Structures are given as C-alpha cells and as structure tokens.
Amino acid sequence: MKKIEAIIRPDKLNEIKAALARVGVRGMTISEVSGCGLQKGQTGVYRGHVYNITLLPKVKLEIVLLDELVEQVVALILEYGRTGNVGDGKIFIYPVEEVYRIRTGDKGKHALK
C-alpha cells in the first residue's frame, strides 16, 4: 500500500476529485493548507500600502491505496491538476505498512474498501 499526498491549486480540486471518483477512488482526506515554493508568494497593494503574501492557499489531498493503483492515480492528478504555471503543486508517495478500519477492525486491503 502507498499513501499519495498531493499539494494542488484549490481551483483544481473538483476536477481531480471527479477524475478519481471515475476510477473508483472513494476515500481521501482533503485539507486546506498554505505554503510557498517557486512562486515565492505575491506582492499586493491595499489602500496604498504594499504587502507581501509569502504563503499561498493550497489544498492537500491524502489518499491511501493499493500499489497497483498508484500510477493511474498519479497520472490523473498530473493531468487534471496541471496548468503549466508555477504553483501547480507537488505529489509525494510514501509506503504504508498497515491500515486498520476502526469501526470493524478490518486491516490491510479489506480496510480500504
């Protein structure tokens, strides 16, 4: 099993969720996060004062799935999350040793269904 963490643009969330649902991904955790990378934030002017926003709003998707689905899910996130501009985000993949469903005590692939 693997855990995919994807940091994406907030406006791409619905497209990515719909694409993942079409291939059967049902469980995911979505968090609103802030961060910076190559974008290095933005500069703005409000009432005559210049200010810097160094942390930009992003969305973090966390998905745990079977190894055989990882490439397909990553390809969908890349396809539907890409704008071609700086700030499109990153995808991280981690190994997962075990998963338990708290309600039933199921573990492994049975806990993911």
**CA–CA separation, 83 and 87 (whole Å):** 9
Strand 29-35, strand 49-53: pairing? unpaired
Residue 19: how many CA atoms within 13 Å on its side-chain side? 15
User: How does DSSP classify residue 10?
Assistant: G
Q: What is the pLDDT of residue 42?
A: 64
Per domain, the residue ranges of the chain are 2-112
Place of tokens 């993942």: 20
pLDDT 10s digits, 51-72: 677 788 899 999 999 999 999 9
Fold of 2-112: Alpha-Beta Plaits (3.30.70)
pLDDT of residue 87: 87
